[in-house]
Structure 1
Amino acid sequence: MPLLMGNLLQQTYSLVDAAIVGRFLGINALASVGASTSVVFLILGFCNGCCGGFGIPVAQKFGARDYSTMRRYVSVSLQLAAVMSVVIALVTSILCDDILLMMRTPDNIFQGAYYYLLVTFIGVPFTFFYNLLSSIIRALGDSKTPFWFLLLSTVLNIILDLFCILVLGWGVAGAAIATVISQGVSAGLCYWYMMRRFTILRGTPDERKFDGALARRLMYIGVPMGLQFSITAIGSIMLQSANNALGTACVAAFTAAMRIKMFFMCPLESLGIAMATYTGQNYGAGKPERIWMGVKASALMMIIYWVFTFCVLMLGARAFALLFVEASEFEILKDTELFLHISVSFFPVLGVLCILRYTIQGAGYTNLAMLSGVSEMIARVLVSLYAVPAFGYLAVCFGDPTAWIAAVLFLIPAFIFVYRRLLRVKREL
């Protein structure tokens, strides 16, 4: 539950940005925020995936009670994060203009989209460190504290959004600045708490030195997890690029619908993230049979949540869309509602995807999980190239569900392979 609430708060960042921008700055500004959604997902998804991967060896060593190696992993992961986040921020900021041109961003929203994307990229180190520190804290068994820090920064984000946009008049860039500052506060609080609360992390100077072997192990697990998100995002970029070509109204509808969908997807992602840590700990403790128990419990919770969400979005999709646009924007409201109705119908497929993918990652088989991302990418690219030109916005609505189905068709046999292998290794021991 703390994971779920934390993820909901992270999505609240995006919801608040888009809602305030759409209501106070208009449809073009809303489209500016959404024109680069998939690019942001590509970069931040890579960072978040790496952070989740870095936390897995920590959870495994914590479960195995090898605290010295665990401390070394924590130290090396922080050093890697510092270098990687700065490099990513510099490269993406320089390429910002080219990225938007490649995505066929409409001219009337290009400038706003550029400033929003640029500020977001500059803030990558804050996002990277918050997610890494949260992953480490969760690996040590505390999933509540990162939630409270995120709650504080979410409130700060709302206040700063209104101040930057309404008082300072910074427009779309103001929304991005508010988010970056808020995430920086979250990261700082997590680091302060982790170092004060967990005495188990207070190691010797030797344990804080950079270790090449451990760094390679972290990169071996973390980078494929990051690439999985990035590979998935490549398909999303293709899909969004195809949608951008349909005009500003479709971009605005896509923006509103994606913000709402991502918010309601949070419990599914949270179940997956929880399974990654849970699997890592039980893998380290040599109890693979508990992993299957966790998968079944997660699947039951997922189905219960889907029934609730299906009723809410089928009946209330238009009401949620009104958070972003005026009631007179009939076309945008209709397109937003269509997107949400189709997406929520396929949430059980997405739930299975999240549970199995993160379980496989938690066991250390991150390359298999990455290949499921390749399946998603291929499906989205095919929809973008062939279905969208033929069927327009309707095909855009089916882009994600098609990708989820393709990934699950790969993940089910992959999970069976991994689980049987874990049981076989335990018997041999």
Structure 2
Amino acid sequence: MNGQLSHRHAHKFRLGGSIDMLTGPLLKKILLFGLPLMASSILQLLFNAADVVVLGRYASYASLAAVGSTTAIVNLMINLLIGISIGVNVLVARYLGEGDKQKELSEAVHTAVAVALIGGVILGGIGCATASWILELISTPEDIFDLARIYLNIYFLGTPAIAVYNYGAAILRARGDTQRPLLFLTISGVTNVALNLLFVISFQMDVAGVALATVISEVLSAVLVLVSLMRSQDELAFSWRKLRIHRRSLSLMSKVGIPAGIQGCLFSLANLAIQGAINAYGSVVVAGSSAAGSIDGFIYVSMNTFHQTAQTFLSQNIGAGKYDRVKDILKKCLLCTVVTGAILCTVACVFSQPLLRIYNQDPAVVAAGTVRLYIAVAPYIIFGLADVLTGAIRGCGSPVRPVVINLLCTCVFRLLWIAAINTDTMPVTWVYASYPASWLVLLIALTVCWLRLYRRKIRPHLMPD
């Protein structure tokens, strides 16, 4: 079959509600894949934002600041584990593209779930044990320190569920099924919002209430994705009896996933330094930055959709030997990113104050958040383009290069930038400016990397024998 799907396989995937990524026009299929994924990501953020909104409206800006100040810490602790889900997605998509890989696919599915459970327990424990130390390290303001610690200790209890959902969703998305992850998030997210209102308004549980609601909803989404895999009738079916770690699957996942996880951790480490600098300006600025960060998160995940789309489409097509589709996939994903980013960045900047008032009515908090939105959101398209290139490079089987580039152009760059800032004399705008400056450097470096990779790994397959 020369690495291509058999007719039987392709028919089965269509019946399963998945997308044939190997033939036909690309833009429609990219949108069919990407829009449900985008909706899933936006829903996930909406439900996470519910934590912040409920606290900001029904508790205090100190509670809002406490939860917002933990974002970089949470990301730092779970990104290495969640990064493996990228390896799961790439590996499963590559096997599906090659065809006739039933045994390998089954091993990959069961290895992924086993790693999610074990790794989630380990990292959750580490997160709980180090929460206070990290909060002290980033100079969390004293008036929100205890609230932030309570939130972290409860949140990390849900780390295994976060991992299971993300790994399971990565498996489904590898064959083009983005509808079921969207459904699962909708169900768990509605549950999260309802429990937020119950715990915070009725039971007066403050940050502990939103953390507990988050953990319960994460467990629900993990159960739903596992049940979906258990009911599957193909090689992606999951069975508890087969649960184990297969060395080959773990090795192949890790080659992509660990570099991706390290990259995520490095991003979070740099952002942790930025959060530490923001903390120096007081809890009002922290609260405003937290609200603005929640808003720019919607733009990020919307554009990141096409990072994941490029990664999955390229993995399947390269697995099937269809190198002639590589350039067109990248062009379409970049176009979708630019259009999405342009629309959302404009909306965020034009309606900045009404959007921020959703989180908190305090004029000082709104003013502080507006500053961050104008500086960090307006040029967000730059990062969107860089993110798609990162996904494309991974999808082409080169997972280490993006890590090195992000380490130098984002993490080291931001750390040096923050180290040069004197928070006693310089305004917070200098802190926020580290974001667009690093994105521009990152985009240039990734563009050079992609062009070299394309010439070396893709173009030779397009030349006539």
TM range (shorter): over 0.9
Match for 1:74: what amino acid?
V
Contact 1:127/1:184 (<8 A) preserved: yes
SS at match of 1:169: coil
- Correspondent of 1:317 among 348, 352, 362: 352
- Residue 391 of structure 2 corresponds to 358
Match for 2:393: what amino acid?
I
- Residue 151 of structure 2 corresponds to 116
1:384 aligns with 2:418: yes
| 1:305-344 correspondence to structure 2 within 5 Å | 305-326=340-361, 329-344=362-377
Measured after TM superposition, the shift of residue 204 of structure 1 is 10
TM-score by length of 2: 0.88
Measured in 1, the distance between the counterparts of 2:249 and 2:203 equals: 47
Measured in 2, the distance between the counterparts of 1:217 and 1:20 equals: 42
- Correspondent of 2:446 among 385, 394, 411: 411
Measured in 2, the distance between the counterparts of 1:251 and 1:13 equals: 21
1:16-55 residue CA offsets vs partner (Å, 9 max, x unmatched):
1001001111111111111121111212332322212222
Measured after TM superposition, the shift of residue 171 of structure 1 is 0.9
Which deviates more, 32-41 or 212-221?
212-221
- Residue 245 of structure 1 corresponds to 280
Match for 1:331: what amino acid?
A
- Residue 79 of structure 1 corresponds to 114
Fraction of identical pairs, as percent: 25
- Residue 423 of structure 1 corresponds to 458
- Residue 58 of structure 1 corresponds to 92
Contact 2:118/2:160 (<8 A) preserved: no
- Residue 25 of structure 1 corresponds to 59
Measured in 2, the distance between the counterparts of 1:44 and 1:179 equals: 15
- Residue 302 of structure 1 corresponds to 337
- Correspondent of 1:90 among 125, 130, 140: 125
Measured after TM superposition, the shift of residue 201 of structure 1 is 2.6
- Residue 46 of structure 2 corresponds to 12
Contact 1:228/1:372 (<8 A) preserved: no
- Residue 224 of structure 2 corresponds to 189
Match for 1:156: what amino acid?
T
Contact 1:288/1:419 (<8 A) preserved: no
Which deviates more, 305-314 or 88-97?
305-314
Measured in 2, the distance between the counterparts of 1:38 and 1:406 equals: 22
SS at match of 1:387: coil
Which deviates more, 11-20 or 48-57?
48-57
- From the superposition, tell whether residues 204 and 319 of structure 1 become closer, same or farther in structure 2 (CA, over 3 Å): closer
- Residue 75 of structure 2 corresponds to 41
Contact 2:47/2:190 (<8 A) preserved: no
Which deviates more, 293-302 or 208-217?
208-217
Which deviates more, 409-418 or 126-135?
409-418
- Residue 131 of structure 1 corresponds to 166
Which deviates more, 304-313 or 25-34?
304-313
1:129-173 residue CA offsets vs partner (Å, 9 max, x unmatched):
110000001112211111011011111110000111112221101
Which deviates more, 267-276 or 335-344?
335-344
1:383-424 residue CA offsets vs partner (Å, 9 max, x unmatched):
211135353210122122122122212211111122223225
Which deviates more, 142-151 or 379-388?
379-388
Match for 2:300: what amino acid?
M
Measured in 2, the distance between the counterparts of 1:173 and 1:289 equals: 53
Measured in 1, the distance between the counterparts of 2:339 and 2:427 equals: 33
- From the superposition, tell whether residues 206 and 107 of structure 1 become closer, same or farther in structure 2 (CA, over 3 Å): closer
1:338-362 residue CA offsets vs partner (Å, 9 max, x unmatched):
2112222212211111110011112
Measured in 1, the distance between the counterparts of 2:339 and 2:385 equals: 13
Where in structure 1 are there 5+ consecutive unaligned residues? none
- Correspondent of 2:200 among 162, 165, 170: 165
- From the superposition, tell whether residues 298 and 108 of structure 1 become closer, same or farther in structure 2 (CA, over 3 Å): same
1:265 aligns with 2:300: yes
Contact 1:68/1:203 (<8 A) preserved: no
Where in structure 2 are there 5+ consecutive unaligned residues? 1-34
Contact 2:376/2:433 (<8 A) preserved: yes
- From the superposition, tell whether residues 308 and 204 of structure 1 become closer, same or farther in structure 2 (CA, over 3 Å): closer
Measured in 1, the distance between the counterparts of 2:358 and 2:191 equals: 20
Contact 2:114/2:243 (<8 A) preserved: no
Which deviates more, 217-226 or 235-244?
217-226
Measured after TM superposition, the shift of residue 207 of structure 1 is 7.5
Measured in 2, the distance between the counterparts of 1:204 and 1:366 equals: 30
- Correspondent of 1:280 among 315, 323, 326: 315
SS at match of 2:421: helix
- From the superposition, tell whether residues 61 and 207 of structure 1 become closer, same or farther in structure 2 (CA, over 3 Å): farther
Measured in 2, the distance between the counterparts of 1:177 and 1:388 equals: 38
TM-score by length of 1: 0.95
Contact 1:4/1:270 (<8 A) preserved: yes
- Residue 174 of structure 1 corresponds to 209
1:256-304 residue CA offsets vs partner (Å, 9 max, x unmatched):
1100110122211111111111111111111123121111111212222
* Structural RMSD (CA): 1.9
SS at match of 1:199: coil
Match for 1:362: what amino acid?
G
Which deviates more, 43-52 or 353-362?
43-52
